[in-house]
Amino acid sequence: MKRILFACLMMLGIMTKAQNGYQIGDVASDFNLKNVDGKSVSLANYKDAKGYIIVFTCNTCPVAQAYQDRVEALNKEYAPKGYPVIAINTNDPIASPGDSYAKMQERAKQKKFSFAYLEDPNHIYTKKYGANKTPHVFILQKTAKGNEVAYIGAIDNDQEEVNPQKETYVQNAINLLLQGKKPTVTYTKAIGCSIRWKKESTTE
Amino acid sequence: MKYLLSLFLVTATLSANAQVKLVSLNELEQRLSKGKDTTYVINFWATWCGPCVGELSQFESLKKEYFKTPVKVILVSMDFKSKLKSNVIPFVKKQKLKSEVYVINEPNTQAFIDNVDKKWSGALPATLIVKNNSRSFFEKEFVNTELEDLVKNIAHEDYKP
């Protein structure tokens, strides 16, 4: 009996995990979150955007840090073409003091981020989108339906910049979107840091 | 004397390095295929991953005598390969880890993650338990006696995924 119960619990765990967050083609929700400059940022603020590169990230994760400059380069390249980067810090500042609002401001200043870097108190949008690690990218495309999710996953398959078969997933996807095509690769995986959830009895 | 000392230092460093090696998924799979009745518990972790570090003691303390068949714990660190000497080896020493520890050597993490298990999103910690041809994968942090119960069930072949 104990064993059956155990198996059921395991299955339940797997099922709830699989159902979280957006899938390709879903319409993503807009948000209103505080940027490092103190102002609130929504998707709707970007009047001329054709879409968005939403990067769920943080200050402290070594993988996210390894991608900082690549995220900045994405914004430099694609914001003028209609796909700005919007970074959202997934981590709770108490669970991870290095990810506090002040530390976000510090990092943005030090690295001269040209993109918005937003806090996400209580992980509302991290959970809604289904980001489960940092960095985790969601490319949205403005369509008649709304902000449609066109790509979910990694920036590239070369975290340490040593892969001879480097594939720049985000760039490839946006280049196709800009040509009026659908991305050929819409979902990728990468090793990332687990999200530092707010300490509560009910984080799941 | 100075020469001897430096020789000693070199040897000490070499032997310390020998404790943590790089491993590709292929090499790991070959290792697992030779297992026979051994249950392999492979934990994917990283020195920078808080929850991973938190649960390492559970892997370290899996009491072999609880199981009817051999149980082997392998800790595969997803730290960057370039951090082997600067981060992983000092960590293993400091924590006095007794399990076999490797650092992954796969340039293409995308393919690697899928090859470990299709269900894996890439988030850490993650654990793969292999016995003969049966593989069970868990993308989660284990709490309390969860891991021990699970390994018991799998090692004794009465686990139904």
Q: pLDDT tens-digit profile of A70-81?
A: 999 999 999 999
Task: Please give the pLDDT value at position B56.
Answer: 95
The mean per-residue pLDDT over the stretch B34-48 comes to 92
A29 pLDDT tier (thresholds 50, 70, 90): very high
Is B124 in CB contact (< 8 Å) with chain A? yes
Which three-class secondary structure state does DSSP give residue B35? coil
**Dihedral pair phi/psi, residue B152, rounded to 5°:** -60, -50
Band (pLDDT 50/70/90 cuts) for residue B6 is low
User: Is any Cβ of chain A less than 8 angstroms from the Cβ of B157?
Assistant: no
Return d(Cα B141, Cα B54) in angstroms, integer: 9
Q: B10 vs A185, which has greater pLDDT?
A: A185
Which percentage of chain A shows pLDDT scores above 90? 79
Q: Is pLDDT above 60 for B148?
A: yes
Alpha helices in chain B (DSSP H): 2-17, 25-33, 50-60, 89-94, 109-116, 146-155
Please say whether the beta carbons of A56 and A98 come within 8 A.
Answer: no
Model confidence at B3, pLDDT cuts 50, 70, 90, reads low
Chain B: give the shortest CA distance to residue A120, in Å. Answer: 20
Annotated domain spans of chain B: 20-155
Mean pLDDT throughout B16-41? 85
User: Is B121's CB within 8 Å of A132's CB?
Assistant: yes
Closest by Cα among A148, A132, A149 to A190: A132
Better pLDDT: A58 or A162: A58
Q: Do A62 and B140 touch (CB under 8 A)?
A: no
Nearest to B123 among A132, A154, A159 (CB): A132
In chain B, what percentage of residues exceed pLDDT 90? 57
Confidence (pLDDT) at B13: 45
- pLDDT at residue A111, as a whole number: 97
Name which of B74, B46, B129, B36 is nearest A10 in CA terms: B129
SS percent in chain A: helix, strand, coil, step 5: 35, 20, 45
> What's the number of CA atoms in the CB half-sphere (13 Å) around residue A184?
7
Distance (Å) of CA A9 to CA A200, B73, B150: 20, 24, 12
pLDDT in the model for residue B11: 46
Of residues A3, A14, A133, nearest to B158 (C-beta)? A3
For domain B20-155, say whether CATH 3.40.30.10 is its number. Answer: yes
Distances (CA, A) of A20 to A16, A54, A134, A151, A204: 7, 17, 16, 16, 10
pLDDT at A161: 86
Average confidence (pLDDT) over B23-49: 92
No. of helices (H) and no. of strands (E), chain B: 6, 6
Rounded to two decimals, the ipTM of the complex is 0.72
User: Which chain A residues are Cβ-neighbours of B109 within 8 angstroms?
Assistant: 154, 157, 159, 189-191
For range A162-178, the mean pLDDT: 93
CB of A165 within 8 Å of any CB in chain B?
A: yes
Average pLDDT over residues A16-37: 87
Q: What is the pLDDT of residue B157?
A: 79
A170 phi and psi angles, rounded to 5 deg? -65, -45
A31-35, A180-184, B3-7, B143-147: segment of lowest average pLDDT:
B3-7
Tokens of B64: 């072999």
Name the residue facing B149 among A6, A163, A167 (closest C-beta).
A6
Which pLDDT band holds residue A6 (cuts at 50, 70, 90)? low
Distance from CA of B80 to the nearest CA of A (A): 7
User: Does A18 score more than 50 pLDDT?
Assistant: no
Q: What is the pLDDT of residues A112-155, one digit of tens each?
A: 999 999 999 999 999 999 999 999 999 999 999 999 999 999 99
Q: What is the arithmetic mean of pLDDT over A27-53?
A: 97
Residue B31 has pLDDT above 50, yes or no: yes
Looking at the complex, report in whole angstroms how far the Cα of residue B52 sits from the nearest Cα belonging to chain A.
9
Longest dimension (CA), chain B: 62
Q: Is A161 on the interface with B (CB under 8 A)?
A: no
- Rounded Cα gap, residues B59 and A52, in angstroms: 42
Q: Is the pLDDT of residue B7 over 80?
A: no
DSSP A136: E
CB contact under 8 A, B80 and A10: no
Q: Is the pLDDT of residue A15 over 70?
A: no
- Identify the band that residue A187 occupies on the pLDDT scale cut at 50, 70 and 90: very high
Name all domains of chain A by residue range, CATH numbers in brackets: 22-194 (3.40.30.10)
The predicted model scores a pTM of 0.82
What is residue B63's predicted lDDT score, i.e. its pLDDT?
Answer: 74
Which stretches does DSSP call E strand in chain A? 33-34, 40-41, 51-57, 85-89, 116-119, 133-134, 136-143, 146-153, 193-194
